[in-house]
Amino acid sequence: DDGSVGLIDFGQVKQISGRNRETLGKVMIALAESEGRPEDYDKIGKLALELGVEINPDAKKEAAPAIALWLFDGSATELPGGYDMGELSPNSPVQELSSFPQDLVLVGRSTILIKGLSSRLGIPWSLANEWAPIARSALGIGRDSASKKESRVRFRDVWKTLKQWSKGRATKAVQKMPSPIRTKVLSAIVKRQEKKEQHR
């Protein structure tokens, strides 16, 4: 009645310590800005280790950045060090983990749930891309230019995601059609694509 905000804890709430919040923010920014260069992976790996991620002593040097990419960037299609994306693969970066920080277990679990859902829906999703603008704001990195850029890019990102989702849905719908109809639909799509290319 008095307008107070309350929090009901069902065991799904976690407060991350100040130092880990800062480092996690830096990881998200580094992942979002990564262009796949070795120096990008070095920076991501150092930040992942700073978070408290511990890897096996015999792991490849790319294990830490591969774990960060695998966990926080579901839109990544390949991992450094030749690691596989599948968590159950014998060549998964998860196999290189010897310890994961308690502060981040809930974040990791939530990320894996959302990654699975987005994968099932055919929507590439990256926690790093979603959290990087918030992290920049919280850390005071590029406030003015980043906020202007984000306001422009945000709609474009939403539009791109919707287009990717609709393509995935359309593909599934076409695959379910009877063979003769599917052939005609695919033929029409190819002709339309050829016309677009001729007009370029």
Asked if 185 contacts 174 with a C-beta cutoff of 8 angstroms, the reply is yes
Q: What is the DSSP letter of 36?
A: S
Partner residues linked to 55 by β-bridges: 97
DSSP string for residues in 41-110: HHHHHHHHHHHT-EE-TTS-TTHHHHHHHHHHBTT----GGG--S-TTSTT-GGGGEEE--GGGHHHHHH
Task: Go through the chain and tell me how many residues it has.
Answer: 200
The pTM score is: 0.64
- Give the tens place of pLDDT for each residue, 94-145: 999 899 888 888 888 888 888 888 888 888 888 888 889 999 988 888 644 4
Q: For residues 126 and 119, what is the distance between their CA atoms, to the nearest angstrom?
A: 11
Q: What's the mean per-residue pLDDT of the chain? A: 82
Has residue 146 got a pLDDT over 80? no
Give me Rg for the CA atoms of the chain.
21
Model confidence at 36, pLDDT cuts 50, 70, 90, reads: confident
